[in-house]
Amino acid sequence: MTPVGRQRSASSSRIKAVLFDLDGTLYDRDRVVEELLAAQYRAFAAELHGLSAAKFLRDVLAMDDHGYGVKEAGYRDLVDRWQLEASLAERLLSHFWDTYDGHCRLAADVSSTLDRLRERGLRLAIVTNGEGRRQRAKIGALGLGASFDAILVSGEEGVRKPDAEMFFRALRRCGVGAHEALFVGDHPVVDVQGAHLAGLLAVWKHVPYWEPVIADAPVIRDLTDLLKICDQRE
């Protein structure tokens, strides 16, 4: 992927809307889960019967797979592997979702970047996969609801990224064409390739555990870098 600062030519269409993935893009999901699991280990230590904190964290993070693991089946498999009481799996799962939102926090650069994009007159949207109630709860916990012109959640839309329809719906609700929109996300296929194939300028929010699949997509490490990309499309 191409570093920020060596992107599309100045003749490209002006950006009028910026669309965002949620988990791992607008907030650090990995930090949330690591913090949550540390608290979960402390809460259930007596029932884990000597399982070390390091092994608990390692096994559950592997099962979670940066949000792409199925946690209901995953916790059941782990409790069975650890040879613990089967009913523990359901309580661990409930604890995960009951406490998740309380660990959600925005990095300092996120709010400031959204404010600056809004000051430029850009339309903003969230396009996220997940169950509607849970994703809306995260957005509320992060205080993001009022910052966006449109919020699309796959569980409410009946379609999931990387299906192009998910991106097309977001474009329609923002009132822009694909050539006038930028999409930023952390997953190289679900977010970057999906948006690219739908005709948007796709930007990869770099993470160290996935490999890029679109060779010329811009790469950012902080959301503030989006401002540079938009500047290049003025």
**Which sequence spans correspond to the domains of the chain?**
2-27+105-232, 30-103
* 164-199 pLDDT, tens digit each: 999 999 999 999 999 999 999 999 999 999 999 999
Which residues neighbour 193 within 8 Å (Cβ) at sequence distance 6 or greater? 162, 202, 213, 214
**What's the pLDDT at 190?**
97
Q: What percent of the chain has pLDDT over 70?
A: 94
**Residue 219 main-chain phi, psi, to 5 deg:** -120, 135
pLDDT surpasses 70 at 21: yes
Q: What percent of the chain has pLDDT over 90?
A: 89
Confidence of residue 3 (pLDDT cuts 50, 70, 90): very low
Total-model pTM: 0.91
Mean pLDDT confidence for 40-59: 97
* 90-109 pLDDT, tens digit each: 999 999 999 999 999 998 89
User: In this structure, what DSSP letter does residue 6 have?
Assistant: S
Confidence of residue 222 (pLDDT cuts 50, 70, 90): very high
CA distances in angstroms from 153 to 20, 139, 222, listed in the order given: 12, 11, 24
| Fold exhibited by the domain 2-27+105-232 | Rossmann fold (3.40.50)
**What's the pLDDT at 233?**
76
**What's the pLDDT at 7?**
37
**What's the pLDDT at 13?**
79
Which residues neighbour 94 within 8 Å (Cβ) at sequence distance 6 or greater? none
